[in-house]
Structure 1
């Protein structure tokens, strides 16, 4: 049975954690690898370099939207393809465990589960509602 008093706070915690992870991964690409370096890495995988900039933008905007609770359920679902892409192109061939060389896909799979849970649970406490955004 779901506790209706604590469930909104659980969704808030999930939103904050997931949003922070996306911002951290954006920061890694932007500040450590640099946008040009990230684009070069994408190219080395056989992907268009421009996709790196799109990915970074989605991570940044999606992370902020999750943290603030702006369309959090929709954003959670929209972010899943970013993680699936990382599994297919980078981490999938490294095996399941993230401690493997080049990192496995277990962490990304768990991250996807968190996004699905948030999408099913709802925005949670202190989420900015779309009606509030219009004011």
Structure 2
């Protein structure tokens, strides 16, 4: 049975944490690796450089949307695309454990599952636009 007193706060925590993590990854790509470095890395994997820009902007916009609680379900599902993509390229070859050299796919898989959970459960409190599932919990 779901505890309706605390479940919304779990949703809020998950949503904001996911959003912050995406903002941190966008920051890393823009200010540490730099856009040119990120594009070069994508190209070294055989991916188009334009995809690097889509990922960087998607992480930035998606992170902000999750923190705000704006279109939480579709944003969580859209953010699955780069996360699942990172499992196959480049993390899959490094094995399961993320502590392996090159970072395995353990952490991206966990992140993908957290996004699926967020999409299934909805916004949580303090969302810009609360989903119908949240309104049902409040009733």
TM-score after normalising by structure 1: 0.94
For residues 1-135 of structure 1, the aligned pairs below 5 Å read: 1-129=1-129
Q: CA separation in 1, counterparts of 2:40 and 2:86? A: 15
Q: Deviations over 1:17-65 (max 9, x none)?
A: 1001101111110000000110011010001111100100000000000
Q: CA separation in 2, counterparts of 1:105 and 1:93? A: 9
Using CA pairs under 8 Å that are at least 6 residues apart, name the structure with larger relative contact order, 1 or 2: 1
Q: Give SS of 2:2's match.
A: coil
Runs of 4+ residues deviating >2 angstroms: none
Q: CA separation in 1, counterparts of 2:34 and 2:111? A: 24
Q: CA RMSD for the aligned pairs?
A: 0.9
TM-score after normalising by structure 2: 0.91
- Note the C-alpha offset of 1:6: 1.2
Q: Give SS of 2:104's match.
A: coil
The runs of 5 or more residues in structure 2 that have no matched partner are 131-139
- Note the C-alpha offset of 1:3: 1.0
Q: CA separation in 1, counterparts of 2:45 and 2:74? A: 29
Q: Give SS of 1:103's match.
A: coil
- Note the C-alpha offset of 1:104: 0.3
